[in-house]
Structure 1
Amino acid sequence: MIAAWLAIASSAVSAAEAVDLRTLLANEEFRRSWQQLMQAEERLPEWIINLDGQSFPMQALEADGKRYLFGKLCEPERCSGERLFVLVDWDKDQAHALYVRLPEAMPADRAPSRYATLRWLGEPDALLQQVLQEQLAQEADWY
Structure 2
Amino acid sequence: MMRLPLLLSTFLAFATPIMAFAGTPQTTADLASKEFKQAYQAMISLPSWVKTAQATSVPVTIINIAGKPYILGHMCRPHDCAAQQMEVVFAKDHSAAWGLLSIKDATSLKQNFLGSPDPEMQKALAKAYQDNNPSD
TM superposition shift of 1:77 = 2.4
**What does 1:16-95 align with in structure 2 at a 5 Å threshold?**
42-95=44-97
1:127-142 counterparts in 2 under 5 A?
127-142=120-135
Q: Report how far residue 140 of structure 1 moved.
A: 4.2
Unaligned stretches of 5+ residues in structure 1: 1-40, 108-114
TM-score normalised by structure 1 residue count? 0.62
Q: For this pair of structures, how many residues does the alignment match?
A: 94
For the residue of structure 2 that corresponds to 1:67, the secondary structure is: strand
- Contact between 1:136 and 1:142, CA under 8 Å: does it hold in 2? no
What SS does the aligned partner of 1:129 have? helix
- 1:126 corresponds, among 105, 112, 119, to 119
Identity %: 23
Greater fraction helix: 2
Question: Scaled by the length of structure 2, what TM-score is found?
Answer: 0.65
Gaps of 5+ in 2: 1-42
| 1:98-141 CA-partner distances (Å, limit 9, x unpaired) | 000001xx27xxxxxxx310011111010000000011111244
8 Å contact kept, 1:53–1:73: yes
Root mean square deviation, CA, Å? 1.7
Tell me the amino acid that sits aligned with residue 65 of structure 2. A
User: Counterparts of 2:70 and 2:44 in 1: how far apart (Å)?
Assistant: 25
Letter in 2 for 1:138: D
